[in-house]
Amino acid sequence: MAENRKIVVAALPQGKLEESHYDLVTEPVPAPGDGEVLCRTLAVSVDAGARAGLQGSATYAGAPQTGVVMRGSAVARVEASNDASVSVGDIVSCGAGWQDYSVHAARTVERIDYDGDPADFLGVLGGTGLTAYFGLLAVTDPKEGETVMVSTAAGAVGHIVGQLAKIRGCRVVGVTGSEAKNARLVGELGFDGVANYRDGGFRQALKEATPDGVDVYFDNTGGTVLGSALFRMNQGGRISCCGVVSQYDTANPEPGPRGIPGLLVNKRLRMEGFLVFDFADRYGAARAELKDWMASGRLTAWVDEFRGLESAPRAFVDLLAGGNVGKRIVRVSD
Amino acid sequence: MAENRKIVVAALPQGKLEESHYDLVTEPVPAPGDGEVLCRTLAVSVDAGARAGLQGSATYAGAPQTGVVMRGSAVARVEASNDASVSVGDIVSCGAGWQDYSVHAARTVERIDYDGDPADFLGVLGGTGLTAYFGLLAVTDPKEGETVMVSTAAGAVGHIVGQLAKIRGCRVVGVTGSEAKNARLVGELGFDGVANYRDGGFRQALKEATPDGVDVYFDNTGGTVLGSALFRMNQGGRISCCGVVSQYDTANPEPGPRGIPGLLVNKRLRMEGFLVFDFADRYGAARAELKDWMASGRLTAWVDEFRGLESAPRAFVDLLAGGNVGKRIVRVSD
């Protein structure tokens, strides 16, 4: 009988996450019950936000647990179905987590009808692309000629944010922790300016990259990059709060930036947090627009791929250290 | 010849503000030039926000200076006029600062046509009342049945905010640093709950006072009260950032709350700073509504009055220590 390999959370990290916090275990492939489907994982998503789910305090995703399969979005092929709405061979997106096989209620999987690589539904057409789309366009509504700054700019969300801002006619400035990433943002995606937050001259570099200040800041980091952005914001500026990657991989989160709320008052700034799920009723229209931009060459989706389920912990630890360029996935089977 | 007494900033405070940072000096009463008016001060406003103007870094009001008259809004009687648009005897509001007499370009004074005490134009019908009005109603738009929390709730802005929220049909919870103030908020203004931030059980008291969480937080303080509010906010909550009184009277501002931006993301919160001047084109309509509510007994304006120009530094230092209940003014002449 076929085996299911799965990667479980062996221990909750107290400080930095390590590969040793995970175990690879095997079990028999589960059998679907009435109304359920059995999915074979094709690829899983590796997301910085999932690190927050391993913190001591509960997030929107619920309290962390050990001994359970690591959560994660996946694309999969249906291997068996006990529901008329789903057929064997269908390609679906589902919350498989880091394992070869998973069973789901048929109504919880979403069929993918797409000519391209199904793994695009983990990135540009999935959670990260939609996060970029709604977090930028719906939350901040950038106007032509405005300056948009984005942190983790070469990441899964950030590199899409920057390109969407360019499509809106904005000046785009990206922040990463790497000169090589910054060079690619300028050379391959047309970013107008960049700054490296790991460089001692970061504040000065950011200032020089934003000669007209910043109208919209898409914040993936929190912490000191957010603090620096606050000082560059123009009156009436908007900050879209998407994530706090600077604070995920630690047991001791920093305090918030010193300029809050003082600079919010003096500059009449708006900061707004969002979760992409709140826009679920608009996913279809957003995906159609994203596909059009990809087809016309205005939007490039970077995919950063590891191969083999067993590589997932390494792919995640490396992601948290800033190793990825674009959307990181783990290809599990073909 | 009559003398003008004026209170000048003698030294910029490094830590807490003291009366010794001011000097009372006299000079001849100035003479108005062409197009100018001479005003005799009736009352001056004492505002916590003015403390920020004495900080080392520039605020929206410009960089701090010594040797100049302390700034402040005033109501005044026109004693001499070299402009056809203003008559001797007119009652006006103007930026007189802390002095007996001041000269202004006629176009910069605003005539007050009002049956009540002109000093109301320093409080409920002036900057603080309008700040409450726009900062609550325009920035957060509270809905009937929502819970509204306000800090410095017995202050010039706070006690108006709470009453406007009651008029909107909200549940209102006030935070002050005094049991006596809290008792007055409940007993005299109908607040539904209160908590004392100086009490060791503050977080628990706030929790008990907000059993359904907080939908709207009107923040006058920043710092730890803001931090506590963030934990009580409901999903989709709005925070109106009005001021940072916890950070004004110190040389070492605290960092921002630890929950920023993490809690903004998880709870989809919006934080927005504002300055009342941005709503100047709507002052007339707001004042009309505020007057109606006062006339019908739904809105009570608390005034906390010192007498004599020389008492202004004491009135200000005491205000920063939380000594006021309602709008603090200094009555300078009748």
Which tens digits make up the pLDDT trace of B247-276?
766 666 677 888 899 999 999 999 999 999
- Give B153→chain A minimum CA distance, Å: 18
Weakest-pLDDT range from A57-71, B10-24, B176-190: A57-71
Interface test with B, best of A219, A264, A279 (most B CBs within 10 A): A264
Q: Tell if the CB–CB gap between B244 and A259 is shorter than 8 Å.
A: no
Residue B63 lies in a domain: yes
Q: How long a stretch of residues is chain B?
A: 334
Nearest-CA neighbor of A173 among A150, A198, A141?
A150
Answer for the pair B330, B312: CB distance below 8 angstroms, yes or no. yes
**What's at A251, amino acid-wise?**
A
Same-domain status, A238 and A318: no
Q: Which strand (E) or helix (H) includes residue B295?
A: helix B283-295
Same-domain status, B110 and B135: no
Residues of A in contact with B269 (CB under 8 A): 272-273
pLDDT of residue B280: 95
pLDDT of residue B2: 82
Rounded to whole angstroms, the Cα distance separating B129 from B287 reads 9
Q: Tell if the CB–CB gap between B270 and A271 is shorter than 8 Å.
A: yes
Rounded to whole angstroms, the Cα distance separating B61 from B72 reads 11
Rounded to whole angstroms, the Cα distance separating B269 from B267 reads 5
Same-domain status, A213 and A318: no
Same-domain status, A103 and A218: no
Same-domain status, A12 and A80: yes
Average pLDDT over residues B159-169: 98
Q: Are strands B303-307 and B270-273 parallel, antiparallel or unpaired?
A: unpaired
- Residue A93: which CATH number? 3.90.180.10
Residue B295 lies in a domain: no
Rounded to whole angstroms, the Cα distance separating A33 from B212 reads 40
Which of the residues in chain A have pLDDT under 70? 1, 56-62, 248-253
pLDDT of residue B258: 86
Residue B284 lies in a domain: no
Residue B286 lies in a domain: no
- Residue A236: which CATH number? 3.40.50.720
Q: Tell if the CB–CB gap between B263 and A273 is shorter than 8 Å.
A: yes
Domain extent at residue A310:
3-123+302-331
Neighbours of B297 (CB within 10 A): 7
For the four alpha carbons of A12, A15, A20 and A24, in that order, the dihedral sign comes to positive
Coil, helix or strand at residue A233? strand
- Long-range CB pairs of A87-90 (<8 Å, 24+ gap) are none
Q: Which strand (E) or helix (H) includes residue B110?
A: strand B110-111
Q: Are strands B36-45 and B327-331 parallel, antiparallel or unpaired?
A: antiparallel
The mean predicted confidence, pLDDT, of chain B is 94
Range 26-85 of B in CB contact (< 8 A) with A: 52, 59-60
Same-domain status, A149 and A270: yes
pLDDT of residue B60: 55
Question: Searching chain A, which residue's CA lies closest to the CA of residue B256?
Answer: A256
Same-domain status, B134 and B237: yes
Same-domain status, B218 and B253: yes
ipTM: 0.86
Same-domain status, A35 and A74: yes
- Global pTM reads 0.89
How many beta-carbon contacts under 8 Å exist across A and B? 113
Residue B297 lies in a domain: no
- Degrees, nearest 5: CA angle A64-A66-A67: 140
Same-domain status, A257 and A185: yes
Residues of B in contact with A258 (CB under 8 A): 253-256
Identify whether B261 is preceded by a cis peptide bond (ω within 30 of 0). yes
Residue B137 lies in a domain: yes
Question: Total domain count for chain B?
Answer: 2
pLDDT of residue A254: 74
Whether B198 and chain A come into contact, CB under 8 Å, resolves to no
Residue B294 lies in a domain: no
Identify whether A261 is preceded by a cis peptide bond (ω within 30 of 0). yes
pLDDT of residue A76: 98
Q: Tell if the CB–CB gap between B261 and A269 is shorter than 8 Å.
A: no
Virtual torsion, Cα A316, A321, A322, A324, nearest 10 deg: -30
With b for 16 or more beta-carbon neighbours within 10 A and e for fewer, the B221-235 pattern comes to: bbbebbbbbbebbbe
pLDDT in tens, B116-131: 999 999 999 999 999 9
pLDDT of residue A65: 85
- Degrees, nearest 5: CA angle B174-B306-B302: 30
Q: Using the predicted structure, report yes or no on whether residue B86 has a pLDDT greater than 70.
A: yes
Same-domain status, B147 and B115: no
Interface test with A, best of B139, B258, B265, B275 (most A CBs within 10 A): B265
Residues of A in contact with B59 (CB under 8 A): 266
